[in-house]
Amino acid sequence: MTERTSILSRMFLVFGLLLLIPCVLAFQLVRINYLEGEELRLLWSKQAIDSIPIPAQRGNIYDANGTLLATNAANYLIALDPKVKDASGKSVTQEQINQLAVTLAKQTNQSPSYFKKRISEAPSHSQYIILAKNLSPVSRDAVRELDIKGVIIEESFSRKYTFGSLAAHSLGFVNHNMDGKTGLEAYYDTELKGENGVQQVRRDPRNQISAYVGAPKKLPENGHSIHTTIDSYIQAILEDELKKGVEKHLAEYGTGIIIDPKTGAIKAMANYPTYDPNYPGSNENENRRNFAISDMVEPGSTFKLVTAIAAVEQNKVDFNEIFETPESGEVEIHGLTLRDHDPLGNMTFQEVIQKSSNVATAEIAMRLKPEVFYQYARNLGFGAETNIDLSGEVAGILNKPYDWSLVSLPWMSHGYEVLATPLQVTQAYAAFANEGMLMRPYLVDKIEDQNGNVVLDNTPVEIRRVARKKTLQKILPIFESVVTDSGTGEWAQIDGLRIAGKTGTAKKVYQGRYSNKYLASFVGFFPTEDPKYVCLIMLNEPKTSGYGGYTAGPIFRETAKRIAGLDGDIQRSMSPQEEPELITKAPSLIGIGKEESEEILKKFEIPYTIEGKSGYVVSQTIEPGSPLPGKDKIILTLSETYLPVDSSKVKEGFAEVPELRGMSMRQATTILAELGLDVKSYRSGTVERQFPKAGDMMRLGSSVTIRGKAKSLELVAMEDRD
């Protein structure tokens, strides 16, 4: 083969290959367009079509009066795509950027330079520069009026709690995905969320989506709305008074519950400190806990309701019986010492409850069989969940009798060796107020869909009868006598309004031993003749005093007084105060100064004689609350040596120590707390010694040590007093 032939062969080969390429392309075009075109177009359509969710609106939450408590608020994100061109082919100009920066600055707390910097420092290829988040509809409209082509406005929704922290622990809160995390938001999350819709869209090779004509769409089903039993007015009152009480008594926290005893409907539930569910992450985790249902505590003497009901119904106590307690106020049971807050002497059954004697209550309880006492406690709801419609409830602990020790029954009789939630205690007293019928507490009255149709209508649920009506009618006057001048609940009294209830004070366990830290409480219902409200107030570790009557009682009083002002029926039932009634009973003057006592006695024209020159009243000859027939004279005995100084000579931040000797430990503690002084007390009974001495100046918050006369080798700061 010549060289010329070789060259021509190679040329023909190359030329043939070049002709083959268009033939292959032509064949592919025919195959794609005609032979397999329909299948390939269908495959492309499937790959380019996608679906995106259409979010459902979360349902609203209302109070019992139809007031909106929780809803959804629209939030807007503003971004910029500087690459977008307008109809004339121009990109976003610097003048438009300046206008946008100035407008956003007016709607936020940032300066115009902040937004200009974000745009200038963005990567050169960026087509999505986020400038601001969580803007209001007003801000959105201001930006939209600029009519800048490259501005991107995205809408989203967040949960809005219209009254901030009001009923925060009942309502709960949601996370960033609008999922309920606590409270009603969590318990009814499925009902509130609804069902998202679906929108079909087309996705291009750059992963950008766009709608197209005829695309199928499934509309969302918005969440149901919840109508609660919460009364916003009562809720606000409870929160306000609880806050004042916690701050006044320097407590770690406080809990309050108000319930309708006839239905079990929760009218208010509060904890303080609280949090704002609009910004749940801005507070301590502890503040978000609902102590009313998640805290297990030893209830103290509020648990004496169980002992009273069981003893009366089982005929283990005679109302005329006299219970003798030792002069020391303490008794030994199976090697353990049980004490009263003060030596109380001989008492009737009514006085045992009225003055809250632990010693006498234990004696009564030990007449009962353990399994009988246990059954009454279970009947009243202790040791089992209340099944309230809130997440996070605990059942408490009520051990069965075969797990009890020899001292379990006497100690349980006044609220130890049993753990209960504040809601369980409230539920038990609600059963007492409801003539023995225990009701399930609940927070949601009804649930409606987006069209207003009722999909769930809660009706009151009766659980069981805890005791016979006759039994409760017998003990009702006893618990009503607690809230009198002679009872431990004297600070809960309201003129003209009949109240029945019980105080409670329980020592707290610290490092496996009972400490001198207390849980103080008061629970009661009103009006006694036709109970409409049961209210519990509980303070954890109050610093001013451990007595439930002194700390929780006044919070109950102020709360009940304000609620009564809102309730026309209670207003009409409250008996008007008649002037003669004010002078027919002896006032309580123990612990009051000489001049103030004289002023009170003169005002009501009560004859009196004062023994001593100055100080506080340490005793009076006529028992407080006793009738004053004719012109009986009251003889007051003063603490003699206490000489009050001119208030102008007391330095700011200091207080003068009063004469405390001769007073009861309770009276001394009350007086020191009013002065802003702390107290360390030893033994019990009446005060025999004090340090510092009367007349000394002490800085506010300092401790005054007092020692009682009763023979006791142990520190008794405030022993199990209610």
pLDDT digits over 230-264, tens only? Answer: 999 999 999 999 999 999 999 999 999 999 999 99
What fold characterizes domain 578-640?
Trypsin Inhibitor V; Chain A (3.30.10)
3-state class (DSSP) for residue 122: coil
Per-residue pLDDT, 206: 58
Transcribe 501-524 into DSSP letters: EEEEEEEEEETTEEEEEEEEEEEE
Buried b (16+ CB within 10 A) or exposed e, 576-597: eeeeeeeeebbbbbbbbbbeeb
What fold characterizes domain 650-722?
Trypsin Inhibitor V; Chain A (3.30.10)
Q: What is the DSSP letter of 541?
A: S
Chain CA centroid to CA 312, Å:
34
Handedness of CA 705, 711, 714, 718 (dihedral sign): negative
Per-residue pLDDT, 309: 97
Give the contacts of 115 (CB within 8 A, at least 6 positions apart): 100, 101, 104, 105, 131, 132
Please give the average per-residue pLDDT across 543-569, as a whole number: 93
Parallel/antiparallel/unpaired status of strands 617-620 and 634-638: antiparallel
Give the contacts of 580 (CB within 8 A, at least 6 positions apart): none
More confident residue, 176 or 592: 176
Q: Is 2 within 8 Å of 8 (Cβ atoms)?
A: no
CA 374, CA 81: separation in Å to the nearest integer? Answer: 72
pLDDT in tens, 365-419: 999 999 999 999 999 999 999 999 998 999 999 999 999 999 999 999 999 999 9
User: How much of the chain is in helix, strand and coil states, percent to nearest 5?
Assistant: 35, 25, 40
- Residue 711 pLDDT exceeds 50: no
Per-residue pLDDT, 163: 94
pLDDT in tens, 447-481: 999 888 999 999 999 999 999 999 999 999 999 99
Backbone torsions φ then ψ of 558, nearest 5 degrees: -65, -35
Q: Which of 312-321, 325-334, 601-610 has the highest mean pLDDT?
A: 312-321
Domain assignments of the chain as residue spans, ordered by start: 20-50, 53-228, 232-559, 578-640, 650-722
Backbone torsions φ then ψ of 5, nearest 5 degrees: -65, -40
Buried b (16+ CB within 10 A) or exposed e, 281-292: eebeeebbbbbb
Please give the average per-residue pLDDT across 87-93, as a whole number: 74
In which band, very low, low, confident or very high, does the pLDDT at 630 lie, cut at 50, 70 and 90? Answer: low
Which of 610, 16, 513, 181 lies closest to 600, judged by CA? 610
Give the contacts of 717 (CB within 8 A, at least 6 positions apart): 516, 546, 679, 680, 681
CA 540, CA 295: separation in Å to the nearest integer? Answer: 11
Per-residue pLDDT, 471: 96
- Residue 176 pLDDT exceeds 80: yes
More confident residue, 694 or 474: 474
Extract the tokens encoding 100: 């946008």
Extract the tokens encoding 245: 């009480």
Chain CA centroid to CA 679, Å:
29
Which of 427, 425, 429 lies closest to 519, judged by CA? 425
Q: What is the DSSP letter of 62?
A: E
pLDDT in tens, 108-132: 888 888 888 888 888 877 778 888 8
Q: Is 672 within 8 Å of 616 (Cβ atoms)?
A: no
- Residue 41 pLDDT exceeds 80: no
- Residue 685, CA distances (Å) to 326, 583, 590 in order: 12, 31, 15
Domains 578-640 and 650-722 share a fold: yes
pLDDT in tens, 302-318: 999 999 999 999 999 99
Q: Which of 43-47, 91-95, 535-539, 697-701 has the highest mean pLDDT?
A: 535-539
Q: How far apart are the first and last CA of the chain?
A: 126
In which band, very low, low, confident or very high, does the pLDDT at 327 lie, cut at 50, 70 and 90? Answer: confident
Map tokens 């629209």 to a residue: 74
Extract the tokens encoding 207: 């992963």
CA 189, CA 59: separation in Å to the nearest integer? Answer: 10
CA 636, CA 719: separation in Å to the nearest integer? Answer: 28
Mean pLDDT taken over the chain: 85
3-state class (DSSP) for residue 385: coil
- Residue 606 pLDDT exceeds 90: no
More confident residue, 544 or 698: 544
CA 262, CA 536: separation in Å to the nearest integer? Answer: 16
3-state class (DSSP) for residue 632: coil
More confident residue, 662 or 711: 662
Extract the tokens encoding 701: 């918050």
Q: Is 542 within 8 Å of 518 (Cβ atoms)?
A: yes
CATH number of 232-559: 3.40.710.10
Percentage above 70 pLDDT, the chain: 87
Per-residue pLDDT, 576: 53
- Residue 86 pLDDT exceeds 90: no
Q: Is 619 within 8 Å of 663 (Cβ atoms)?
A: no
Map tokens 């079909």 to a residue: 200
CA 659, CA 706: separation in Å to the nearest integer? Answer: 11
More confident residue, 34 or 296: 296
What fold characterizes domain 53-228?
Penicillin-binding protein 2a (Domain 2) (3.90.1310)
